[in-house]
Amino acid sequence: MTPINLLMHPLNLTEALDEAVCGGKAVQLGAAIRAGLPVPSGFVLTAPLVNAIAAQEAEPIDRAVQAFTQLQGAVAVRSSAVGEDSSQASFAGQHLTCLNICSPSGLIEAVQQVWQSGQSAAAQSYRQRLGITQVPEVAVVVQRFIPATQSGVLFTRNPISGKDERVIEASWGLGEAIVSGFVTPDCYRLQRQGQVIEQTPGVKDIAIVPIAEGQTQQVAVEPHRVRALCLEDWHLEQLNCLATLCEQHFQQPLDLEWCFEGSTLYLLQCRAITRIASHPV
């Protein structure tokens, strides 16, 4: 258990050990960082601390702002609700994510918005379907924002067929274009050893990109890139290597969110695949 005197202070992600107060997402990211995986640095605001910030208490807000200042740049603000990103529930798409937050006031507003999304009718309905009856407790992950050139998701095992192969979806810019359904992403299937089985271009006519004053905007993708594959062989090699490292550490099939900033690959989220075919076809 996290000591009581730490519950009302931001914790470095490497110190996120207790799902009951940090949520599953923060704990998974903390484990990934400790394993040496390429996760952007950041901190977690525990559920009690987020509750206090949502209630506009001055001292908790000051602590969050101080931790934000130490990151020295724009951040991404994501939910880490208790029970989120577990082996039974992902909550993917249920809670708000705020990207490219550049100011202390923007941080506090984002934290309050993420907390509110955890109380929404959609999130409550999802909990009810899973039989989760306790009051929503939402911790918040704050990480250095990565202005991605390509982003996507990677399943270390095919969740539809159950085959022992990698499935990658990718698009230009930030991954919210895929999550929000704005584009049809490129799709790749790789053997576990990295050989490409199939690569299918998508229709990526919109990209979500950061703007200088903070947050993001949609932009039109240049016509010649709309149906062009956004990942080259070297991207796929790095992604397959990351998938292998994650599986070796977590010892289960995983759903990864990732991005490239130029030639540098980052792991943004790491969760168990909650539904997978039981018999390969």
For the segment 200-217, what is each residue's pLDDT rounded down to a tens digit?
A: 999 999 999 999 989 999
* Residue 170 pLDDT level (bands cut at 50, 70, 90): very high
What pLDDT was estimated at residue 103?
Answer: 97
Burial 55-81 (b: 16+ CB within 10 A, else e): eeeeebbebbbebbeebeebbbbbbbb
Instruction: Assess whether pLDDT exceeds 90 at residue 74.
Output: yes
Instruction: Assess whether pLDDT exceeds 60 at residue 1.
Output: no
For the segment 228-264, what is each residue's pLDDT rounded down to a tens digit?
A: 999 999 999 999 999 999 999 999 999 999 999 999 9
Same fold, 4-144 and 150-272: no
Instruction: Assess whether pLDDT exceeds 70 at residue 165.
Output: yes
CB atoms within 10 A of CB 234: 9
Task: Average the pLDDT over 38-42 and give the result.
Answer: 98
Instruction: Assess whether pLDDT exceeds 50 at residue 45.
Output: yes
Which residue would you say has higher pLDDT here, 249 or 94?
249
Amino acid at 197: I
Q: Give the class (CATH, top level) of 4-144.
A: alpha beta
Instruction: Assess whether pLDDT exceeds 60 at residue 132.
Output: no
150-272: in CATH 3.40.1640.10: no
Instruction: Assess whether pLDDT exceeds 80 at residue 31.
Output: yes
What pLDDT was estimated at residue 274?
Answer: 74
Q: Where are the alpha helices (DSSP H) in the chain?
A: 19-34, 47-54, 58-71, 104-118, 121-130, 176-179, 223-226, 233-250
Average pLDDT of the residues of the chain: 90
* Rounded CA separation 115/123 (Å): 11
* Residue 90 pLDDT level (bands cut at 50, 70, 90): very low
* Longest CA–CA separation in the chain, Å: 56
Q: Where are the domains of the chain?
A: 4-144, 150-272
- This prediction has a pTM of 0.89
* Rounded CA separation 260/263 (Å): 6
Task: Average the pLDDT over 86-92 and give the result.
Answer: 48
What pLDDT was estimated at residue 277?
Answer: 59
